Structure 1
Amino acid sequence: MAQHSTTLAQKIKGSLRAATAVETSGVEPIPEDGRSGGPGSSFTLWFSSNVQFSSLSSGMLATAAFGLGWVQALLAIVLGSAVGATAIGVMSTFGPRAGVGLLVQTRVPLGRYGAAVPAVLVFFKACAWFAVNSVLGAFAVQTLMGGGFAPAFALVTLAQVAIALVGYGFIHLVQKAMAVVLPLLFIGVSVYGYAKSDLGSHFAPDKAGALGFTGAFALTIAVQAARALSFSSYAADYTRYMPAGTPPRRLFACAFTGTWLGSVWIASLGAAIGTIAFIGTPTDLVGQVLPGALATVTMLALGLSTITSSCLDCYSGALAWLIAGVKMARWQAVLVVGVIGGAIGWTTGQGDYWKSFENFLILLGNWIAPWLAVMLVHRFRARAQSPTPHFGTGFASWLLGLAAAVPFMSQPGVYVGPIAKDHPALGSCAAAVAFLTAGLAHYALTRVHRRPTAPHTHTAHTNKEIPA
């Protein structure tokens, strides 16, 4: 018995040492003998990453801004979360088979130069999310500890960067711990929030305006899906160290379930709170909804959740920067994301962010959706291909998807397309139009240009499709 306990303690100690060792790999393929872990870690990572204030915010938009009743908002949140969770689940399966992140694999259908475009977009997306979460986390820490915004903002940003600097193993370790801690901390605010909210609320036409019920419902689905879709571009980054033989279906199920449960829980709570108050920042929860002791616990939960979520943006943003062609070490790229994201957050994040937050989420879906469509078509029906030196058929398909979405885009104050202007209810369809157009275009173009080569049957082990 004593020997068994000693062996278990040694294993735990060894696992902790490995998880806290600074990662030395960049974007190159991970060799098979350097891989470990299993699908379960994808559940904890995506569950804890969705238990955060931005999930609460996206749910609150449904009732407080778009005018849906709580039950209507819940249905839209369930559907939108399922769309985003499906994307994360599918894209998570891309990591083990090739040992590299999704952006590296993008070089095959889009070409080496073409793949640099989404890499740059992912980099700036990561910086923007880092900024959003840093500000929200700073508000929570400031409310919890008192003092000025500056020290709270510095604490949050430094914590996020520190986790990303250590790297892959430490991120998974932190997320496993938070998958236990955050639910415990959020239980109180959930019980209180649901009890105080008007769960029997009805549709409010005055809030929906020209959208009407159909438009408000569709927009809630789009916003909720876009939030998770933005994470899907990172998904393979956190599975690329898993063995090539990791069962895809099990990996999909773990990533999907973790994302969907975390998203639906916190977003539906946000929708419930939105029936009684419009919460602009975490600080407003204290003044308008929560009593003292519960408010303290909630601020702790929100501070921790924004840090554990935003470290993903810092880590994956750094990898995107390297894939875009910048020559530097991974840790240096992490600092670049931290500096740019921190500067954006400090400069623009201390005011009212609601309309910008809504537009930001929708714009993310508009360009990520056609890119994911290209990757799905490439993965499930294309024959083995060699990466083109410039721009592949996938890049053309991606551009066609974006072009098709333009008339449907609706970001008031930024751009409203002609179809969205004449039919506001269709303004939430841009991402779906982009996805379908890009997918169909890539399917057609690869049928025309496909060379008669043998099907790729062992890509996961050989990495023949993945350029160095």
Structure 2
Amino acid sequence: MSVSKTNDRVGAVETRGIEPVPDHERHGHAGQMFWTWFAANISILGLPLGATLVAFRGLNIWQAVLVALIGSFGSFALVGALSLAGKKGGAPALTLSRAVFGQRGNAGPTLVSWLSRIGWEIISTTTAAYALLAMLDIAFGLDRGTVLTLLCLLVFIACTLLISGLGHATIMWINKWATVVFGVLNLIVMGFLVATVEWSRVLDAPAGATSGVIAGIGFVAAGTGIGWANAGADYARYLPKEIPGSRLVVASAFGAGIPLLLLISLGSLLTAGDDTLATSSDPVAAINEMLPSWMAIPYLVAAFGGLLMSNHLSTYSAGLTMITLGLRVSRVWAVALDVVLMFAGGIYLMLIADDFYGPFSTFLTLLAVPISAWIGVVAVDSLRGRAYDPEALMDTTGGSRYWYTGGFRLPAVLGWAAAIVAGLLFTEAATSTDVWFEGPFADTWAGANGLGWAIAMATGAAVYALAGRATGPEAEATPAPALQGAGR
């Protein structure tokens, strides 16, 4: 097995790929997860989530706050729980997933996870480019055009590549200090936005249906923590094994929950008085118009920086996921390839597509199902006391301890596949004008309340718990005496 050496220092390029981090290279503390998830969630994308709760779910402000509290804190507590595998096994989430699904069986969950990361990156990149375009217009009077749009996309992508390319230690350092800077800027902007709220309309708004609250919790969870659940271990893999797992869970829940609660609640407040934010094709411009003209530049800087904090994490994880899929390049080159795809997606959304929120909501709805199915299987596997063989994780040949039956661990693969089918039966993914997908039970109570992802998670857990009972992970944890042909 060829294992790269690591330079996990701020400012140095991290040369470790997906190979497990040995104990003597572990360092850090649980508080790093607080800063990591705080940084990932200070972007303005939390505002349209809140706007959706009021405009499309019919909730009043108190219901929206409750939904934001449960959906954000709860989903990121799950992210923290799943990140314990990274602390335990020292590898990225989807690399550890090889032990659960088999070397070949893991390809499906890994591909879906990679698509999820790419999708989030494109959304963040597009929104940040809108912010930069608006900044150039205000500061220099430059009109939006094709060339300027491409340049704005490239500037944001270059910033993302710089941080993600350097790797783990730089990301951890930037997360902490950028959270303070952009967090303060966001608080200032939020104060001015609150001043624009029509409080009489907000306080007089009737309560929505209980089903809307349930659907809202599902929507917020799917749009926040569920989308990161398959990446939590990527940032916990350098942590010492002796750190209590409860600290990681609490740090993750509060790190993400605090900014999300504030942003989603504010988005709900703004939309209770005016639905412009929920229906705008350019969320950056819609928010900018609510502010005094002199606040435009600080707001746009905060928007750009917050989106960058989220995007560099997605890009880092996407690079690791591509290597897990079998891309035989270094981590840095995997990141570089990822940003090329990000650029292409940004071009599509900004210069070709007509609708921003339609694809956004549809994307969240569909990908939440297979990701939730993976969560259900992996959660049960972790509860059974999974231990990880570092050499077997990296051995992708037929001699690997994690090869199982033809490269597939059938109970896990069966549970994942069954869970996807079950979840999609109750799922509808549609824009304002088109239905992209509609399951046969999408009009039932569970389907109408957006619980397809929850059904997928529960089904994956149940099927795997039953089918995998006879082949628990304890028997698979003993290191093999010899391994051949280790791969990346």
Category of TM-score, reference length = shorter chain: 0.7 to 0.9
Distance in 2, Cα, partners of 1:225 & 1:444: 27
1:223 maps onto 2:219 in alignment: yes
- Written as runs of structure 1 = structure 2, the 5 A alignment for 1:333-352 is 333-350=334-351, 351-352=354-355
Instruction: Give the structure 2 partner of residue 404 of structure 1.
Output: 422
- Written as runs of structure 1 = structure 2, the 5 A alignment for 1:174-253 is 174-197=174-197, 198=199, 199-203=202-206, 213-227=209-223, 228-253=225-250
State the 1:62 CA deviation: 0.7
User: Alignment partner for residue 39 of structure 1, among 21, 24, 30?
Assistant: 30
User: Alignment partner for residue 388 of structure 1, among 397, 403, 407?
Assistant: 403
Instruction: Give the structure 2 partner of residue 439 of structure 1.
Output: 461
Distance of aligned partners of 1:422 and 1:94 in 2 relative to their CA distance in 1, 3 Å threshold: closer
| TM-score where L is the length of structure 2 | 0.85
Q: Which amino acid aligns with 2:423?
A: A
Instruction: Give the structure 1 partner of residue 145 of structure 2.
Output: none
Instruction: Give the structure 1 partner of residue 287 of structure 2.
Output: 285
Instruction: Give the structure 2 partner of residue 415 of structure 1.
Output: 437
Distance in 1, Cα, partners of 2:176 & 2:156: 20
State the 1:149 CA deviation: 2.1
Distance in 2, Cα, partners of 1:169 & 1:452: 33
**Structure 1, unaligned runs of 5 or more:** 1-15, 205-211, 460-465
Counterpart contact for 2:212–2:449, Cα < 8 Å = no
State the 1:250 CA deviation: 1.1
1:76 maps onto 2:67 in alignment: yes
Identity level (%): 24
Instruction: Give the structure 2 partner of residue 365 of structure 1.
Output: 368
1:152 maps onto 2:149 in alignment: no
Distance of aligned partners of 1:265 and 1:451 in 2 relative to their CA distance in 1, 3 Å threshold: closer
- Written as runs of structure 1 = structure 2, the 5 A alignment for 1:297-336 is 297-336=298-337
Distance in 2, Cα, partners of 1:424 & 1:366: 14
- Cα deviation, 1:218-243, whole Å, max 9, x if unaligned, reads 22211210122111111110111111
Q: Secondary structure at the match of 1:93?
A: helix
Distance of aligned partners of 1:453 and 1:188 in 2 relative to their CA distance in 1, 3 Å threshold: closer
| TM-score where L is the length of structure 1 | 0.88
Q: Secondary structure at the match of 1:304?
A: helix
State the 1:382 CA deviation: 5.1
Instruction: Give the structure 2 partner of residue 171 of structure 1.
Output: 171
Q: Secondary structure at the match of 1:415?
A: strand
Q: Quick check: which one's helix share is greater?
A: 1
Q: Secondary structure at the match of 2:10?
A: helix
Distance of aligned partners of 1:75 and 1:223 in 2 relative to their CA distance in 1, 3 Å threshold: same
User: Alignment partner for residue 356 of structure 2, among 350, 353, 357?
Assistant: 353
Q: Secondary structure at the match of 1:274?
A: helix
**Structure 2, unaligned runs of 5 or more:** 1-6, 143-147, 389-400, 480-485
- The 10-residue stretch of structure 1 (392-401 or 141-150) with the greater mean CA deviation from structure 2: 141-150
- Cα deviation, 1:127-163, whole Å, max 9, x if unaligned, reads 1111110010011111123333222221111111111
Distance in 1, Cα, partners of 2:217 & 2:48: 14
Instruction: Give the structure 1 partner of residue 470 of structure 2.
Output: 448
Counterpart contact for 1:383–1:453, Cα < 8 Å = no
1:270 maps onto 2:267 in alignment: yes
Q: Secondary structure at the match of 1:414?
A: strand
Counterpart contact for 1:160–1:310, Cα < 8 Å = yes
Distance in 2, Cα, partners of 1:190 & 1:64: 20
State the 1:423 CA deviation: 4.5
Count of residues in correspondence between the two structures? 437
Q: Secondary structure at the match of 1:419?
A: coil
- Cα deviation, 1:97-152, whole Å, max 9, x if unaligned, reads 11101111111121111111111111122111111100100111111233332222
State the 1:217 CA deviation: 2.1
- Cα deviation, 1:24-71, whole Å, max 9, x if unaligned, reads 000001112222111111101101211112212211111123222111
Distance in 2, Cα, partners of 1:40 & 1:372: 24
Q: Secondary structure at the match of 2:457?
A: helix
Q: Which amino acid aligns with 1:249?
A: S
Counterpart contact for 1:193–1:272, Cα < 8 Å = no
Q: Secondary structure at the match of 2:195?
A: helix
Q: Which amino acid aligns with 2:284?
A: P
Distance of aligned partners of 1:422 and 1:18 in 2 relative to their CA distance in 1, 3 Å threshold: closer
1:162 maps onto 2:162 in alignment: yes
Counterpart contact for 2:384–2:473, Cα < 8 Å = no
Q: Which amino acid aligns with 2:69?
A: V
Counterpart contact for 1:370–1:435, Cα < 8 Å = yes
Distance of aligned partners of 1:79 and 1:49 in 2 relative to their CA distance in 1, 3 Å threshold: same
Instruction: Give the structure 2 partner of residue 4 of structure 1.
Output: none
Distance in 1, Cα, partners of 2:85 & 2:487: 15
Counterpart contact for 1:110–1:394, Cα < 8 Å = yes
- Cα deviation, 1:7-26, whole Å, max 9, x if unaligned, reads xxxxxxxxx99211000000
- Cα deviation, 1:302-347, whole Å, max 9, x if unaligned, reads 0001111101111100100000111111111101110011101111
Distance of aligned partners of 1:453 and 1:286 in 2 relative to their CA distance in 1, 3 Å threshold: closer
Distance of aligned partners of 1:383 and 1:159 in 2 relative to their CA distance in 1, 3 Å threshold: closer
Distance in 1, Cα, partners of 2:473 & 2:257: 39
Counterpart contact for 1:317–1:334, Cα < 8 Å = yes
- The 10-residue stretch of structure 1 (20-29 or 358-367) with the greater mean CA deviation from structure 2: 358-367
Distance in 2, Cα, partners of 1:89 & 1:452: 23
- Written as runs of structure 1 = structure 2, the 5 A alignment for 1:134-145 is 134-145=125-136
Q: Secondary structure at the match of 1:421?
A: coil
Distance in 2, Cα, partners of 1:432 & 1:286: 36
1:28 maps onto 2:19 in alignment: yes
State the 1:186 CA deviation: 1.1
Q: Which amino acid aligns with 1:225?
A: A
Counterpart contact for 2:8–2:169, Cα < 8 Å = no
- Cα deviation, 1:277-316, whole Å, max 9, x if unaligned, reads 42232012122x1111223211110000111110111110
Distance in 2, Cα, partners of 1:115 & 1:17: 27
Q: Secondary structure at the match of 2:462?
A: helix
Counterpart contact for 1:419–1:427, Cα < 8 Å = no
Instruction: Give the structure 2 partner of residue 120 of structure 1.
Output: 111
